[in-house]
Amino acid sequence: MRIATWNINGVKARLENLLHWLKESAPDVACLQEIKSVDEAFPALEIGDLGYNVAVHGQKGFNGVALLSKRPIDDVTRGLPDGDGDEQARFISGLIPTDHGAMRVACCYMPNGNPVGSEKFPYKLDWMRRLEDWTAARLEEETPLVVAGDYNVIPEPIDAKHPENWTGDALYRPESLSAFRRLSALGLTDAVRSVAEGGNVYTFWDYQAGAWQKNNGIRIDHLMLSPEAADRLVEAGIDRHTRAWEKPSDHVPVWVELS
DNA sequence: ATGGTTGAAACTCAA
């Protein structure tokens, strides 16, 4: 089965691209971030016509995440625990029945964290700590788990065309990389890294300054697999061609094929 | 050099 993640950057502005991609890529599960929509305005009918069940955790204007699945989505959870007063819609998870038992899929939109001197940076680090706690608890259940989404973290220098340009940025600060490594150290496999160790694999190109034309990209969208999910990893990749479409998102879909 | 672009919603902010 194929599980994909895509920061869509506005689901209503991107609906035509989304439907086209769902038809050609046909993921069994798709995690969407930055839908920038309230639940009631999410285009569930159009997506449902392609055979998908939908679970949405949206908000007005910004953020917002959604799970799409050809199979039912059970036991949906919205938001991370310990979110005292946290109004930002950045997390949704669900239990998906498969031919080999249930699999939990988490769809995450980590905070960007810039500017580093503002309250946004500690919010990012705290959010990542909350995800780490949630993941540690889920791993004890030994159900296959995929923690997918826009991590807003450049894990290593080879994950940027020009890593030197990111020094001091919240996506590349030592504290952010450390939080990502702590999550990995729970026993998660970075699926794309495990099949493309050589770098030059990016998932985001800024709209500005001709970043796409210069291939000035970064790899910040990740699928992290629990041991039970990693055992089933067949293939992983990115749908780079979507960045060249009309009205593209600045991110491209990233996917894994699990047996 | 503080540019450059996009979406949502409101005439600015977040990315």
What residue ranges do the domains of chain A occupy?
Answer: 2-258
Q: Is the dihedral of CA A145, A19, A238, A26 positive or negative?
A: positive
Helices (H), chain A: 15-25, 44-48, 120-139, 174-185, 191-195, 227-230
Asked if strand B comes closer than 7 Å to A15 Cβ, the answer is no
Catalytic residue flag (residue A151): no
List the A252 CA – B7 C1' distance (angstroms): 17
Q: Which nucleotides of B are covered by protein (CB under 7 A)?
A: 4-9, 14-15
pLDDT at A198: 87
Long-range contacts of A129-135 (CB under 8 A, 24+ apart): A129/A179, A130/A80, A130/A81, A130/A82, A130/A83, A131/A80, A131/A91, A131/A183, A132/A179, A132/A182, A132/A183, A132/A186, A133/A81, A133/A82, A134/A80, A134/A81, A134/A106, A135/A106, A135/A183, A135/A186, A135/A188
Edge-to-edge strand list for the sheet holding A221-225: A74-78, A91-98, A101-109, A145-150, A221-225, A189-190
Q: DSSP label at A159?
A: G
Q: Sign of dihedral through CA atoms A96, A97, A98, A104? A: positive
Give chain A's residues under pLDDT 50: none
The pLDDT assigned to A197 comes to 86
Using a pLDDT cut of 70, give the percent of chain A over it: 100
Answer yes or no: are the C-beta atoms of A236 and A194 closer than 8 Å. Answer: yes
Q: Which nucleotide is nearest to A112 (CA to C1')?
A: B15
Q: A208: Cβ under 7 Å from strand B?
A: yes
The answer to whether the C-beta of A36 is closer than 7 A to strand B is: yes
Residue nearest to nucleotide B8 (CA to C1'): A61
Catalytic residue among A28, A52, A109, A172: A109
Whole-number average pLDDT of chain A: 97
Shortest CA distance to A188 belongs to which of A131, A218, A155, A147? A147
Closest CA-bearing residue to C1' of B14: A62
Instruction: Say yes or no: Cβ of A12 under 7 A from any atom of strand B.
Output: yes
pLDDT score for A74: 98
Q: What per-residue confidence (pLDDT) applies to A15?
A: 98
Q: Is the CB of A222 under 7 A from strand B?
A: no
Rounded CA-CA distance A196/A193 in Å is 5
For A136-194, what is each residue's pLDDT tens digit?
999 999 899 999 999 999 999 999 999 999 999 999 999 999 999 999 999 999 999 99
Q: What's the CA gap between A20 and A244, in Å, rounded?
A: 14
CATH superfamily membership of A2-258: Endonuclease/exonuclease/phosphatase (3.60.10.10)
- In this complex, the answer to whether residue A114 has its CB under 7 A from any atom of chain B, a nucleic strand, is yes
Percent of chain A with pLDDT over 90: 97
pTM of the model: 0.97
**A60: nt with nearest C1' to CA:** B8
